[in-house]
Amino acid sequence: MANHKSAIKRHKQSQERRMRNRINKSKMNTVIRRVEEALVAGVEDAAQEALKIAIPVIQKTAGKGTIHKKTASRKISRLTGRVNRMMPIG
C-alpha cells in the first residue's frame, strides 16, 4: 500500500473506477448474453427485442470509457449480423 497522501488518494480513485468499470461491463455482458440466448433458442422476436436493448447499453459502456469505441462498434455489428442472418429474407 502507498504511503504518500496523494498515492493513497490515487489508489482509492483507481479502486472506485475499477468497480464502476466492472459494473458497466457486467451489465453489457448480461445484455449480450440475453441476445445470444435468444439466438440459440431460435426465437426471432426475442432476439430482435434483446438486440434493441443491448445496442444502447453497449454504446453507453463505450461512452463512459469502460471499453473502446471501436470495440463497442464491433460487438454491435457482430450481434446485429447474427440476428439478421437468423431472420428470413423477404
Summarised one tens digit per residue, pLDDT across range 40-79 is: 999 999 999 999 999 999 999 999 999 999 999 999 999 9
Q: How many domains does the chain have?
A: 1
pLDDT tens figures, 5-49: 999 999 999 999 999 999 999 999 999 999 999 999 999 999 999
**Burial of 90 from C-beta contacts in 10 A (0-12 / 13-18 / 19+):** exposed
62-76: burial string, b at 16+ Cβ within 10 Å, e else: beeebbeeeebeebb
Higher pLDDT among residues 1 and 76, named by residue: 76
Range of the domain at 66: 5-86
Q: Give the CATH number, domain containing residue 31.
A: 1.20.58.110
